[in-house]
Structure 1
């Protein structure tokens, strides 16, 4: 197993630990900072594994499958954990997670039809905005940051919808070739 794939697996393994610190008081007052640190490290591995894989020609089918799955696990887990804390409304999380299910299903149908759907810049912007939003929501600095959090929530939500529409519009042939 190559280094990028190990980093992807590390990210997957970090998710339950992150969730424990988000949803319990096992670490006391340090919980949010531990969770924030875990989320940031996991987010960095997302960037790093892709960079290493592309730079060293280490792209594998395992990585193509697991990397986006690991990202979805991390982000969706964080979003769900932020609901009971009152930092995100459930409808926002449902919209974001629904987009992930739709795109995953779309990619599965495309794959069956022999079509590879590459990641788009809109998808990358969406991921970065969601991760930035999650980091600020976990940190909960207050003050002016509360306004920035609200702005980031709306930016992430808009980019989620725009990236979904972008994927569908650019890949309409999947609807006909994939038997949908």
Structure 2
């Protein structure tokens, strides 16, 4: 005697009867349900939350600066560091607040020419030859600097940090390469001591 709790076995005939009794709408829904269940599950890659840091550093110049203009700079990027470092570069002291999530750590390259930066980036594996060549070949210095800043930003970096070996040794200095990361620039006049005869 068959057990009353035992389910009847499914055969081709029984499945055909069940399917023939189902309405078209019900068949369609059943097809979609089972198709969705049989789809391979795609695991989402874990992406850690990006940590945003805020830092204050200083820039010295002979004129008051309210915004970063890379075209007016004599050097690559916008250099900032400690107060002592900034005071060596003019009688106007600027407090610069900037945000970053990923700093590019480089050695103190001294002159910070495009070629020396590119060589350092290639040595660290942050730039390939295909990216470096058109920057190397650009004859206009301002355009070359702009291309290099864009390449560094596109590589995922917000700014450059280096251990200063000239002004106030072994203190971190920064080079802003994307002015969007700067949240404020506050100028404070700095009076140099007068020299009396």
TM-score scaled to structure 1, two decimals?
0.23
Higher Rg: 2
Q: Which has the higher helix share?
A: 1
Q: Which has the higher strand share?
A: 2
TM-score scaled to structure 2, two decimals?
0.22
